[in-house]
Amino acid sequence: MKNLPHPIQYQGSKRNLAPLILPYFPKKVKRLVEPFSGTAAISIAAAARNISQVFWINDLNKPLIELLQLIVEHPEDIADAYTKIWYEQHHDSIEHYYHIREQFNRTQDPKFFLYLLARCVKGSVRYNSEGLFNQSPDKRRKGTCPETMRRNIVGMSRLLQGKCYFSSLDYQSLFHQIDRDDVVYMDPPYQGVCGDRDSRYYAGIVFPEFVNALAELNNKHIVFLISYDGRKGAKTYGETLPESLQLKKIELEAGRSTQATLLGREEITIESLYLSSALLCQSSQPSTIAYIKPKGEQFILLETYEQYPAIT
């Protein structure tokens, strides 16, 4: 899974956690739906494992969805555009970045967005109160080299071309269109921790409304999985989803942050994965909850949990 093509290095992407998340999916999925797709890391991984051959990739961030669609459907065009923008930066790369950022905020052209995502600090998206991209450039590097970017773009296209439907709907509108045979994977913003607005996200969600929408999915017996809250050391983030939803909570070890390592702290990041009751009902085989160390190290059992049905 490490060598999967990912053109966009996006902070918060589930790229590294995908090998831990996918085992909880049904073995075969008629259509995988990502309402909060981000860079579609789970869809990429699911396509590589032949878990699904049809994907609905959605995010309210329209330029991001348009960029993903270009990558999948017109890989050479977007690779050529990135190469041109990248090579134009060498006279004054910092000034060039700000010039491209201004053009993107004015036009919302996804070709400019790819360069910004490749060059911004830590791949970390930031928006101001007006919804304009305002992250600074990483002054230590000039972004992914064009040859590597092209390989990743072409690789992602080969996995997903002809299999995807793209949209930029709000999640509630999308929920109304989900079919009983769909499997829905969600990685929404942690609204409730950040207040009314979080600069990391193009748009947030209101926690009570999200909980009500999940209850409706339960009523329709929709299979879904949610990455939502978590903890790092003694600090927690994200509101725990309520017991009334009858979800099974799994804790996945995401590893030790680089910053914690540099400071000599033993802070392991744990991310939660919630499984819907419709998913749990697909099998009655019991299983224990295990963690997997980052970088493919052996399974270790950190705590004792109540058993839950294995997903087959």
Sorted by where each starts, the structural domains of the chain and their CATH numbers stand as 1-312 (3.40.50.150)
DSSP structure class, residue 220: T
Tokens of 158: 């080969």
- Rounded Cα distance between 24 and 308, Å, is 11
DSSP E strand boundaries for the chain:
31-34, 55-58, 164-167, 182-186, 223-232, 235-237, 248-256, 268-275, 286-287, 291-292, 299-300, 308-309
Q: Is 223 exposed, middle or buried (0-12, 13-18, 19+ CB in 10 A)?
A: buried
Q: Which residues contact 54 (CB under 8 A, 6 or more apart)?
A: 30, 31, 32, 163, 164, 165
Q: Contact 37/62 with Cβ under 8 angstroms?
A: no
Tokens of 90: 């060498």
- pLDDT for residue 192: 40
- pLDDT for residue 86: 97
Q: Contact 184/221 with Cβ under 8 angstroms?
A: no
- Rounded Cα distance between 122 and 108, Å, is 21
- pLDDT for residue 190: 63
Q: What is the pLDDT along the chain (312 residues), one digit of tens a residue?
A: 558 999 998 766 788 899 999 999 998 899 999 999 999 999 999 999 999 999 999 999 999 999 999 999 999 999 999 999 999 998 899 999 999 999 999 999 999 999 999 999 988 888 998 889 999 999 988 999 999 999 999 999 999 999 999 999 999 999 999 999 999 999 998 644 344 444 444 457 889 999 999 999 999 999 999 999 888 877 888 888 999 999 999 999 887 654 554 455 667 889 999 999 999 998 543 343 444 444 443 333 333 333 333 343
In the block, residue with structure tokens 């294995």:
310
- Rounded Cα distance between 113 and 219, Å, is 39
3-state secondary structure at position 292: strand
